[in-house]
Amino acid sequence: MVFYQVKDYEEMSRKAAALIAAQVVMKPDSVLGLATGGTPQGAYGQLVKWYRQGHLDFSQASSVNLDEYRGLSGEHPQSYRHFMEVHLFDHINMDRSRTFIPDGQEPDPGKACRDYDGIISKLGEIDLQILGIGANGHIGFNEPGERFEGKTHCVELAESTRKANARFFEDGEEVPKQAYTMGIGDIMKAGRVLLLASGAEKAEALKMSLYGPVTPGVPASILQFHPNLTVIADREACVEIRE
Ligand code: GLP
């Protein structure tokens, strides 16, 4: 594991963007595993800036996102497809037909998951997988459970996750109860994993994930077994580790 402790969210975002940019520069047809949420948003903003300045070209790259809420269309403002459009895809020259996100509107979970697994295997290896972390140690929407799920599956979202994500939804609007998420096996197959963490509310999860026992009760703990893991975490997210 390569561990960078940085000052704050801005520094984390710049460093993460630099790593993603390097990936695309060195291998223009990279498959990027992308994440949503507040954590990677700053890194995407930085990539957009560098793209506008002419430093980056995404025309040969592909992307595959971790997860999507079940029941939300790509146009819904809180869907992860919409998040990716607004924060990244609308501003760079990645070919839309090579950006993949589970189909939240597919009512049949079996089909939604099979279709996404098909897409993942067709793309081949994910070169760089970006991950945030939930305060309960989830990655993608792989919630704490009895076992590590290998492939794309439909999950019941933990109450704590729904509460944490309620900040993005309109007042009174329900956070979906289920989501489709890439499995832990898919994440572990990535050539390189970049785990990002910012803020005190991630400190306990980060410590448990990187230094606690490897257990499906803390899904991100499996990353201890990844041969090419890079962590960029800000000071607040590292408080438990320093102690
Ligand atoms: C969300 C997403 C995850 C994300 C995590 C943390 O529910 N499904 O992919 O990493 O929870 O979110 P945030 O970065 O907003 O703290």
User: Mean pLDDT of all residues in the chain?
Assistant: 97
Q: Residue with structure tokens 């609007």?
A: 173
Question: Does residue 242 have a pLDDT over 80?
Answer: no
pTM of the complete model? 0.97
Give the distance (Å) from ligand 1 centre to CA of residue 197. Answer: 10
Residue in 87, 103, 106, 136 annotated catalytic:
136
Give the distance (Å) from ligand 1 centre to CA of residue 242. Answer: 23
Pocket of ligand 1 (CB under 6 A): 35-39, 66-67, 132-134, 140-141, 161, 165
Confidence class for position 81, pLDDT limits 50, 70, 90: very high
Check residues 173 and 212 and name the one with the higher pLDDT: 212
Mean per-residue pLDDT for 38-58? 98
Residue pLDDT, tens place only, 89-143: 999 999 999 999 999 999 999 999 999 999 999 999 999 999 999 999 999 999 9
pLDDT at 243: 56
Of 57, 68, 70, the residue nearest 29 (C-alpha): 57
Put the strands of the sheet holding 67-69 in their side by side order. Answer: 67-69, 178-181, 153-156
If one residue of 72, 133, 162, 194 were mutated to test the ligand 1 pocket, choosing by the most ligand atoms within 8 A of its CB, it would be: 133
Mean per-residue pLDDT for 179-200? 98
Question: Does residue 22 have a pLDDT over 90?
Answer: yes
Question: Does residue 206 have a pLDDT over 80?
Answer: yes
Q: Write out the DSSP string of the chain.
A: -EEEEESSHHHHHHHHHHHHHHHHHH-TT-EEEE--SHHHHHHHHHHHHHHHTT----TT-EEEESEEETT--TTSTTSHHHHHHHHTGGGS---GGGEE---TT-S-HHHHHHHHHHHHHHH---SEEEE---TTS-BTTB-S-SS---S-EEEEPPHHHHHHHGGGSPTTPPPPSEEEE--HHHHHTSSEEEEEE-SGGGHHHHHHHHHS---TTSGGGGGGG-TTEEEEEETGGGHHHH-
Give the distance (Å) from ligand 1 centre to CA of residue 97. Answer: 25
pLDDT at 204: 98
Mean per-residue pLDDT for 170-194? 95
Confidence class for position 64, pLDDT limits 50, 70, 90: very high
pLDDT at 173: 86
* Atom nearest to 199 CA in ligand 1: 16
Mean per-residue pLDDT for 203-208? 98
